Amino acid sequence: MADHDRTSVPLDPHPGPELIRAPGFADLLSVIPSLVGVHPKDSLVIVPFLGRRAVGGFRVALPGRLGESETAALAGACIQAFTAVPEADAVLVVVYSERSYAEERGIPLAALGRAVVRRLERTRHGIVGVACVASDGWGRYTIAAERRSPRRLDEIHGSESGLFSRAVADEPLDVAEQAVLPVVEEDDRAVVAAVLAHGPVGGIAGLTPVIERWLAGPSVARREGRIVQFLQSPPLRDQLALQIALGPIGAAPALVRMIREQAEQALTGETMEALVERHDALRLPGDDDLAEVELLMGVGPGPDPARLALATRALARTAALAPVEARAPVLTVLAWCWWARGAASLAAAHLAEARRLDPDYSMALLYESLFSARSVPDWVLESTSRRLVSAAALP
């Protein structure tokens, strides 16, 4: 195993990474929130390494019940997460728990720690460490003294490496705080309700410019009401998601198909949803269809990161403005945008709220299955791999 007492952690390597030196294990733990972009709570965090360098990590939420099957599944998730970054040659795993050494009479979640160590030892990868950060201290599952008694949390909180990592990277997100929708004016809510009172969207005229102005322009309640209207229709919801991800030009083929379908709808009197279902049943998907579906499923080169960042902000406000009965579709697209950005924890939080509001909403059910099967999209893994190789090449 490499000398990880001098681990270097590049943060946000676009265009050039900042190298954070972690001279000790506690220093390494101190930079994890900046590495994964969130303050981990009740989580399993997996950080792939190439040599002594790491650029990011993956977080898996701990279930409320942690029996034998759940423990085995989490240990398996560690393997799946870091082997998804094929360039990695070592891994750090950290359990974050609100439990304490005092109440557990030793290191918390010891069975999980042992299971992770056993699974990692069966691989050819190096083990940087398997540790636990508890409510009253921290320790490594592989060191007997640290299993019995905790080391002090101020070794982590007072680390200069952690302070520097927060200075050069975006502030790590607090998932619970970020999942709360923004405060909005009641007058703006009333405007959105008035727009929705006119009924479903009658057509798609002006769809593209409305989405672009909503995404990048100032907040306008009437425009946000139109977005909530669009999102109540599955075809328009998917078109909006594609335009967020690809831009108006990239999403144009799907819009052209929708315009043709709308013309047919006017002749047949069918609803747009029924017409799309009939077309889907009769035709083989073309290249454009497959690329669009793959994008929404997390496959391929990925969306425009800047547009996703705009969308998460705009959708959060739009969800706050939407009446409760119309909010689930907005939250579902918001969840997808966070997932596409690699923030699986936030995606899960918004999706859970959408499912609570409308347990039968089909797209939320689909994304729930998708997020369970794929914690992050392909493009997040590929970006991590590229950044890891670049970081390892730095002097």
pLDDT of res. 203: 60
pLDDT of res. 162: 81
pLDDT of res. 308: 96
pLDDT of res. 194: 96
Give which of 130, 132, 108 is closest to 121, Cα–Cα. 130
pLDDT of res. 223: 96
Give residue 37's region: left, alpha or beta (phi > 0; psi -120 to 50): left
Separation between Cα atoms, residue 140 and residue 197, nearest integer Å: 58
pLDDT of res. 359: 97
pLDDT of res. 2: 30
Tokens coding 32 = 């994890």
Say what the pTM is.
0.78
Cβ atoms within 10 A of the Cβ of 298, count? 21
Degrees, nearest 5: CA angle 49-52-56: 40
Q: pLDDT digit of tens for each residue in the chain (395 aa)?
A: 333 444 444 444 344 456 677 889 999 999 999 888 888 999 999 999 999 888 888 888 898 889 999 999 999 988 988 888 989 999 999 999 999 999 999 999 999 999 999 999 999 899 999 999 999 999 999 999 999 999 999 999 999 888 877 776 666 767 888 889 999 999 999 999 999 998 776 566 678 999 999 999 999 999 999 999 999 998 889 999 999 999 998 877 776 665 555 544 555 655 555 655 655 555 545 445 577 888 888 998 889 999 999 999 999 999 999 999 999 999 999 999 999 998 888 999 999 999 999 999 999 999 999 988 888 899 988 888 888 888 888 77
Give the three-class secondary structure for 93.
strand
Separation between Cα atoms, residue 101 and residue 133, nearest integer Å: 10
Separation between Cα atoms, residue 238 and residue 240, nearest integer Å: 5
